[in-house]
């Protein structure tokens, strides 16, 4: 036994006990005749004391030579601490050490193992095993564990069965790029790593599992945008004999349970918003509704004056920034620069100050009188003291731009509070999405999503208008889950795949097994998948998923700690019947 207690365990009631502790040297204070050591482990910190009057000389020597992050084991007596430290649970006591053993030494760590470290991202990732010793990182990982345990126990109690689906599956051309795995036993053939267990969970429904879930790794070989990982974790769920309403209720229940269990927050019924409304009011299919600043569409009140920019725009839309009239001209100019950044892409911004005396002062006073501007204020729900920001242009683009501005301003105004939770269902997504580059429609959710009843016939005439039985769960402006009611008959699935550009042959080769399965009594079914990394980060009050992943990869998909990926031996390549073609 290396220890009788952890370093977070001892209290005043333990005084006079003889104990053995082990852990890392967090820090030492050496006053010559006295040495104090903070001993750390996952559970806390305990202060050790060595004192020349009571401690043998050799041990004083050992104690005074302890370096940071040395691993030691000590035996001693719990004594009352002279100057108590109320900020830690063990702050009433300390250990008068009678035996010490240095279990391992440590070089000086490349960064400080403190809550706030001096290590940059790259260094921390290279030495992630040291970074994990830091309390904030460790707490995130423990937090993640608590969330997954809560998810599993909740779903299991509701009769969901966790079923493991295979990782070595088949590559499909649909969607993002697959990671592939050459098969040695099947020459010239490849497995793919799953982007999600989508078809397998549907087959489990065909197989009568009724309620399935799995917390599972998924893989996408995408060029990594900020805060994306090539491997990520999903809470994957599917139910049979259900309608959309059943899914929403079930997973609203799960989310409410997590918010209560993990965050101690009670939330009421989740509001539901149509996709079209979300786009109209927030310019975004995952609106943050912790705050207002809803869009006001100004076409009716701002067009047909002499302002050509607005007159020629498909959409003129504004938001009221609470208290924004206090911005100086310089601050507003900076805001205009901000929306003109390439990442946002607006060509300019019109603004209108709402003065405290009820008058208005806009950047386009030449074209609009007070009465016009009052209508702007009314439409954007601007109050005295606010600033109205107006963008114009092509509808989709200008909505995205104004949405970015809304989020940025809310962030600056402190309206995106980490400890406030505003969940929201966004429903009635379009079935198809136009790829502007290729001019082709592709599945907005995936090819297995069912269209709304009676809308299948619109696929030919108005493909962009067909709505799907698809829904997203949004939390604080982040999509944390998304799903749909699936197609469960062969004919509809064939029509869908045809519209997505699959030839009959391709459809059969890729998804024949699923369509075959639909011929043997497939039940109505649907499901949802949550992005666990994101969910955990948001519940943890943060937005960077990397902080909640033990060993994340960098933006080039590299693990800089183990230095992977790496070149392969020639023999290994030859065994796989592969040649590099660089």
Binding residues for L-aspartate are: 174, 220, 445, 486
Of 515, 505, 509, nearest in space to 448 by CA: 515
* Integer Cα distance of 229 and 225 in angstroms: 9
How is residue 276 written in tokens? 């079209």
Q: At its nearest, how many Å lie between a second copy and the CB of residue 260?
A: 19
Find out whether 41 and 52 touch, Cβ atoms under 8 Å: no
Which CB, 346 or 549, lies closer to a second copy? 549
Of 81, 58, 141, nearest in space to 38 by CA: 81
Q: At its nearest, how many Å lie between a second copy and the CB of residue 554?
A: 10
Residues contacting residue 423 through CB under 8 Å, at least 6 positions apart: 252, 255, 259, 267, 270, 473, 474, 475
189 makes contact with a second copy (CB under 8 A): yes
Q: What one-character DSSP code corresponds to residue 118?
A: S
Q: At its nearest, how many Å lie between a second copy and the CB of residue 102?
A: 10
**Contacts by 138-145, CB closer than 8 A, 24 or more apart:** 138/42, 140/536, 140/540, 140/542, 140/547, 140/548, 141/548, 141/550, 143/262, 143/536, 143/539, 143/540, 143/548, 144/532, 144/536, 144/548
246 makes contact with a second copy (CB under 8 A): yes
96 makes contact with a second copy (CB under 8 A): no
Q: At its nearest, how many Å lie between a second copy and the CB of residue 76?
A: 16
Q: Interacting stretch for a second copy, rule CB under 8 A, among 106-114, 259-267, 477-485, 495-503?
A: 106-114
Q: Which of 89, 175, 182, 501 binds a second copy (CB under 8 A)?
A: 182
Query: The tokens 């302002």 sit on which residue?
Result: 307
Q: Which of 16, 82, 223, 266 binds a second copy (CB under 8 A)?
A: 223
Q: What one-character DSSP code corresponds to residue 488?
A: -
Which CB, 454 or 567, lies closer to a second copy? 567
Binding mask 430-459 for a second copy (x = CB under 8 A): ------------------------------
24 makes contact with a second copy (CB under 8 A): yes
Q: Which of 173, 253, 358, 464 binds a second copy (CB under 8 A)?
A: 173
Q: Which of residues 460-519 bind a second copy (CB under 8 A)?
A: 488-489, 513, 517-519
Q: Interacting stretch for a second copy, rule CB under 8 A, among 78-86, 303-311, 358-366, 550-558?
A: 550-558
Find out whether 354 and 360 touch, Cβ atoms under 8 Å: yes
541 makes contact with a second copy (CB under 8 A): no
221 makes contact with a second copy (CB under 8 A): yes
Residues contacting residue 325 through CB under 8 Å, at least 6 positions apart: 353, 354, 355, 356, 384, 385, 386, 387
Total interface residues for a second copy by CB under 8 A: 127
| C-alpha dist (Å) from residue 229 to 43, 452, 539 | 30, 33, 19
Find out whether 35 and 62 touch, Cβ atoms under 8 Å: no
175 makes contact with a second copy (CB under 8 A): no
329 makes contact with a second copy (CB under 8 A): no
191 makes contact with a second copy (CB under 8 A): yes
Binding mask 34-73 for a second copy (x = CB under 8 A): ------xxxx-------------------------xxx-x
Point out which residues pair with 41 in neighbouring strands: 44
Of 396, 389, 401, nearest in space to 279 by CA: 396
535 makes contact with a second copy (CB under 8 A): no
How is residue 462 written in tokens? 């108005």
Q: Which parts are annotated binding residues for ATP?
A: 220-222, 229, 479, 531-534
Q: Which of 31, 184, 417, 462 binds a second copy (CB under 8 A)?
A: 184
Residues contacting residue 336 through CB under 8 Å, at least 6 positions apart: 348, 349, 351
300 makes contact with a second copy (CB under 8 A): no
Q: Interacting stretch for a second copy, rule CB under 8 A, among 156-164, 347-355, 476-484, 492-500?
A: 156-164
Point out which residues pair with 73 in neighbouring strands: 22, 101
Coil/strand/helix, residue 465: helix
Q: Which parts are annotated binding residues?
A: 174, 220-222, 229, 445, 479, 486, 531-534
557 makes contact with a second copy (CB under 8 A): yes
Q: At its nearest, how many Å lie between a second copy and the CB of residue 216?
A: 9
Which CB, 92 or 131, lies closer to a second copy? 131
Which CB, 70 or 338, lies closer to a second copy? 70
Q: Which of 74, 204, 354, 388 binds a second copy (CB under 8 A)?
A: 204
Query: The tokens 């009635």 sit on which residue?
Result: 428
* Integer Cα distance of 221 and 563 in angstroms: 18
Q: Which of 45, 59, 219, 530 binds a second copy (CB under 8 A)?
A: 219
Radius of gyration of the chain (CA): 30
Q: Interacting stretch for a second copy, rule CB under 8 A, among 258-266, 297-305, 349-357, 568-576?
A: 568-576
Q: Which of 186, 328, 438, 461 binds a second copy (CB under 8 A)?
A: 186
């Amino acid at each position: 036994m290396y220890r009788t207690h952890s370093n977070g365990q001892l209290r005043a009631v333990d005084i006079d006990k003889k104990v053995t502790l082990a852990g890392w040297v967090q820090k030492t204070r050496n006053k010559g005749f006295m040495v104090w050591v903070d001993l750390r482990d996952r559970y806390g910190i305990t202060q050790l004391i060595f004192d020349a009057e009571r401690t043998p000389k050799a041990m004083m020597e050992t104690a005074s030579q302890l370096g940071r992050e040395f691993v030691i084991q000590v035996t001693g007596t719990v004594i009352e601490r002279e100057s108590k430290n109320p900020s830690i649970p063990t702050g009433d006591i300390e250990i008068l050490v009678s035996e010490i053993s240095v279990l391992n030494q440590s070089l000086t760590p490349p960064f400080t193992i403190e809550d706030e470290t001096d290590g940059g991202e790259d260094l921390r990732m290279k030495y992630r095993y040291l970074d994990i010793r830091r309390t904030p990182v460790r707490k995130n990982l423990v937090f993640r564990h608590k969330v997954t345990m809560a998810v599993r126990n909740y779903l299991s109690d509701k009769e969901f069965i966790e079923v493991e689906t295979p990782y070595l599956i088949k590559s499909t051309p649909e969607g993002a790029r697959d990671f592939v795995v050459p098969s040695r036993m099947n020459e010239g053939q490849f497995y793919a790593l799953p982007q999600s267990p989508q078809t397998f969970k549907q087959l489990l429904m065909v197989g009568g599992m009724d309620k399935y879930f799995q917390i599972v790794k998924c893989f996408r070989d995408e060029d990594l945008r900020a805060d994306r990982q090539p491997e990520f974790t999903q809470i994957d769920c599917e139910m049979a004999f259900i309608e959309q309403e059943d899914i929403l209720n079930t997973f609203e229940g799960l989310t409410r349970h997590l918010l209560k269990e993990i965050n101690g927050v009670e939330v009421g019924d989740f509001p539901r918003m149509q996709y079209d409304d979300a786009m109209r009011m927030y310019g975004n299919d995952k609106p943050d509704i912790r705050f207002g600043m809803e869009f006001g569409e100004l076409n009716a009140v701002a067009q047909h004056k002499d302002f050509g920019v607005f007159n020629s725009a498909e959409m003129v839309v504004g938001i009221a920034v609470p208290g924004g009239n206090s911005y100086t001209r310089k601050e507003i100019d900076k805001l205009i620069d901000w929306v003109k950044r390439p990442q946002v892409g607006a060509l300019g911004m019109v603004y209108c100050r709402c003065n405290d005396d009820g008058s208005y002062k806009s950047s386009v006073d030449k074209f609009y009188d007070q009465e016009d501007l009052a209508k702007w204020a009314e439409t954007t729900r601007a109050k005295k003291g606010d600033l109205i920001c107006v963008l114009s242009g092509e509808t989709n683009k200008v909505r995205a731009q104004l949405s970015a501005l809304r989020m940025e301003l809310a962030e600056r105004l402190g309206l995106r509070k980490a400890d406030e939770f505003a969940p929201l269902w966004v429903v009635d997504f379009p079935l198809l999405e136009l790829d502007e580059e290729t001019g082709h429609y592709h599945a907005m959710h995936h090819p297995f999503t069912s269209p709304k009843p009676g809308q299948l016939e619109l696929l030919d005439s108005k493909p962009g208008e067909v709505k799907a039985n698809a829904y997203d769960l949004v939390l604080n402006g982040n999509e944390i889950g998304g799903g749909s009611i699936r197609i469960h008959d062969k004919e509809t699935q064939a029509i869908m795949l045809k519209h997505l550009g699959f030839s009959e042959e391709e459809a059969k080769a890729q998804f024949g097994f699923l369509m075959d399965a639909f011929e043997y009594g497939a039940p109505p079914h649907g499901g949802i998948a949550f992005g666990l990394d994101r969910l955990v980060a948001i519940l943890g009050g943060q937005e960077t998923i990397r902080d909640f992943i033990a060993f994340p990869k960098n933006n080039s998909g590299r693990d800089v700690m183990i230095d992977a990926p790496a070149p392969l031996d020639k023999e290994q390549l030859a065994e796989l019947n592969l040649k590099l073609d660089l």
